[in-house]
Amino acid sequence: MQFPRSFYIIIFMEEVEQSAGAQSSEKRPDIFDRIMSLPVLRIFEPFYKAHKMVLLYLFFGGTAFFLNIFLFYGIARLTPLDPLVNNVICWVVCVLYQFWTNRTWVFDGKTNGAWEFIKQILSFFGGRLFTLFLEEAIIAVFITWLKLPEMPVKLAAQVVVIVLNYVISKAFVFKKS
């Protein structure tokens, strides 16, 4: 799918502004706010504004979910790796993606300086490590020991992980002071 050139320019400009620490007294609309203000989508705008954080988390959590599932399936079919090792590889890729999307779009995780950023990324990865251990336990019990089919177990484990990751991110990692 080819996006219009203006789409890439908008994304690039938002990244430049965030990197430069551009701050103003009023919050500028991001790309999702602009999409929701399109005439055809305007009827959903009040609902979107009321539930923006949850909707964006579901959107980016959904994309991370599919990335994780497709990676897990692909690695399982193309390599002889143990499901636990496969899961860790998928976890690393997806947590990097999730940190960037959650920080940028979902929780507005701007920080003041390197130390705050380091604390933020460490708490993010710490929370994700907790849910990784939980997911690994689910996979070990249900796939390795009980010999249940891989994909249904992986899907169920992902649902548990997504809910816990949202709670951890909102309550601990990107909490507003």
Domain assignment of residue 21, given as a range: 1-50
Domain endpoint, select from 28, 50, 72: 50
The answer, as to whether pTM is greater than 0.85, is no
Q: Tell me the C-alpha to C-alpha distance, in Å, between residue 109 and each of 8, 20, 61, 103.
A: 22, 14, 16, 5
- Whether residues 77 and 67 share a domain: the answer is yes
Residues 15 and 98 in one domain: no
31 and 73 fall within a common domain: no
Q: What is the pLDDT along the chain (177 residues), one digit of tens a residue?
A: 555 555 445 554 455 445 444 444 456 777 888 888 888 888 888 888 888 888 888 899 889 989 998 999 999 999 999 988 998 999 999 999 999 988 888 887 787 888 888 888 898 888 889 998 998 899 899 998 999 998 899 899 988 988 888 888 888 877 766
Same-domain check for residues 61 and 21: no
Amino acid identity of residue 120, one-letter, is Q
pLDDT of residue 22: 45
Structural domain total, the chain: 2
Clarify whether residues 116 and 139 are in a common domain. yes
pLDDT of residue 2: 58
The whole-number pLDDT of residue 93 equals: 94
Distances (CA, A) of 113 to 17, 26, 27, 110: 15, 21, 20, 9
pLDDT at 9: 52
